[in-house]
Chains A and B, each alone.
Chain A
Amino acid sequence: AQSVAQPEDQVNVAEGNPLTVKCTYSVSGNPYLFWYVQYPNRGLQFLLKYITGDNLVKGSYGFEAEFNKSQTSFHLKKPSALVSDSALYFCAVRDLASNTGKLIFGQGTTLQVKP
């Protein structure tokens, strides 16, 4: 069965510093990987995805993520954090080997960026 782990409940970063939100996954086949963000009092929004090809994918709002097959990780990164990046971030995976297109999400990581 496919699964996603986000080992940190919360990440605290000072504005202007680089940020990393961690994600590891488990699938039996090749993964499709996604990051979503939930801003306070707003719905979930798509940030970026990895399907195939270049291991470094770029997404919305200056975010990027690096796919690492050997470590089964897909960490979210941003070179310089903004206070407005403070939100709840979810990693998600689809398992291409499964017979279903269901998307499984991690537990979420709260990112707090302080001025």
Chain B
Amino acid sequence: GAGVSQSPSNKVTEKGKDVELRCDPISGHTALYWYRQSLGQGLEFLIYFQGNSAPDKSGLPSDRFSAERTGGSVSTLTIQRTQQEDSAVYLCASSLGGSQGLVEKLFFGSGTQLSVL
């Protein structure tokens, strides 16, 4: 596609339920990022995928959060047993990867607004 696509754009769930958020990166981009944007919290790094390397999971806030990237393309962020504090906008971004990719800009999706009631 022309840009980074995220779905759904909005998700309302009940506390304790599991949710899956999807990200379709730009074709050919080997680097993929997940961030969380909460009011007053800025952009919080969650996880980073680069090609076939082991992902950098250092930003995941708890073991309820996990993410995978299948075939080096589509990524899914899963939140188990959602809590109200998980309510936020979840942003996905992609960029050219590898050593050259370190200087490249990120292209962001429009995000998924998650509301946990």
Chain A residues with CB under 8 Å of chain B are 6, 32, 34, 36, 43-46, 49, 51, 90, 92, 94, 96, 100-108
Q: Which residues of chain B are near A104, meaning CB under 8 Å?
A: 45
Q: How many A-B residue pairs have CB under 8 A?
A: 59
Task: Beyond the given A43-B111, A105-B42, please list 20 additional residue pairs across the A-B interface where CB-CB is below 8 A.
Answer: A6-B42, A32-B102, A34-B105, A43-B110, A44-B43, A44-B108, A46-B106, A46-B107, A51-B103, A90-B42, A100-B48, A100-B56, A100-B58, A101-B48, A101-B101, A102-B48, A103-B33, A105-B43, A108-B42, A108-B43
Contact with A along B51-78 (1 / 0, CB 8 A): 0000010110000000000000000000
A46's partner among B50, B101, B105 (CB-CB below 8 A) is B105
Q: Is the CB of B106 within 8 A of A103?
A: yes
* A41 → chain B closest CB, angstroms: 9
Chain B positions within 8 Å of A, measured between CB atoms, are 31, 33, 35, 40-43, 45, 48, 50, 56, 58-59, 91, 93, 97, 101-103, 105-111
